[in-house]
Homo-oligomer: A and B are copies of this chain.
Amino acid sequence: MLRTGLLGAGRIGRIHAANIAAHPGSQLVAVADVDAAAAQALANAHRAEACDAAQILEDPQIDAVLIATSTDTHAPLIEAATRAGKAVLCEKPVDLSLERARACLAVAEANGRPVMIGFNRRFDRNFAALRAALDAGEIGQAEMLSITSFDPAPPPASYVKVSGGLFRDMTIHDFDMANFLMQDLPQTVRAVGSAIVDPAIGEAGDIDTAIVTLTYADGRLAVIKNSRRAAYGYDQRVELLGSEGMLSVGNLLEDTLVRATAKGVRGAKPTYFFLERYMAAYAEEWGTFVETVTSGAPIPVTLADGVAALELAEAATQSLKSGEAVTVRTKG
């Protein structure tokens, strides 16, 4: 039974709380949040205790912490929690600063406790099935990856200002997906982008539409397409062309009803946003964390993976500014 403390009682924190409580191998024992009332309400709903983050970290009865706080606290909390001997599941990104994230990685590695980063898409059964089919050799050798990742509606400019920019905030999921499927870091990153959806995003110094191209040492290629707006809903698809075929993952739809009339044949839209699309993935993610920590098996999405995705975000940010290709530092 993994006794778990939850740091962060916001929207994502509440989803994690329900998963922690529902899993037969874990127990939600404590919830902390800078908003004490929110922590109390969430704790009550799951018969857990509300306390502050420090108490959770100091409590020797707590085996694991799930970090779902604001991004700027991720790195210090990972460091403190691993120092306190806890296993950690932390929401992405590790930090907006690559340097800070690398420092955190060094500390966590020294502390020797398992840290998993919450890249939820790896636990989506569709993307997982794609990876499994690739590993099974169903399309031979991978050659070209294409990721479509569009949000249904842009965030307010106020959010954009503190987000670290499109590549660190949104594309970071796609960079991790590329790393997950290509199983290597790219050699070069090229990014183009513009603020065409909402001029206020441009005024805030960010972009809302982007295409990022990745090249790999062995000749493979990848492309990530991002938009902050798709009027028809959250668009999350992957296509992987290989020497013997293509694997592709489409969207989940709101329902299977089809209306055929004189106007055409109309089906449902994709499920609205990440909470709808990835609800099952969050539960799968937590289940994997519990099993991994309990059994001592290798963590499937490591803190190093979180840093790697951030490296690509950093490279894309530089490429967008300079207009040039950016070479990614080699792994070693």
Contact = CB atoms under 8 A, between A and B. Distances in A.
Interface of A: 125-126, 129-130, 133, 138-140, 143-144, 146, 148, 150, 188, 190, 192-197, 209-211, 213, 215, 218-221, 223, 225, 227, 229-232, 235, 239, 241, 243-269, 323-325
Contacts of A196: 143, 218-220
A258 B230 CA distance: 14
Nearest to A224: B223
Contacts of A262: 231-232, 244-245, 269
Q: Which of A129, A150, A192, A247 counts the most B-chain CB atoms under 10 A from its CB?
A: A192
A74 to B, nearest CB: 31
Contacts of A241: 150, 227, 230
A150 B143 CA distance: 12
A256 B245 contact: no
A215 B243 contact: no
Contacts of A244: 231, 261-262
A150 B246 CA distance: 11
11 contacts: A126-B255, A138-B261, A144-B209, A192-B215, A213-B223, A230-B241, A232-B260, A245-B262, A249-B256, A253-B265, A266-B267
A159 to B, nearest CB: 20
B211 A221 contact: yes
Contact of A245 (B219, B259, B268): B259
Contacts of A211: 144, 213, 221, 223
Contact of A265 (B140, B197, B225, B268): B268
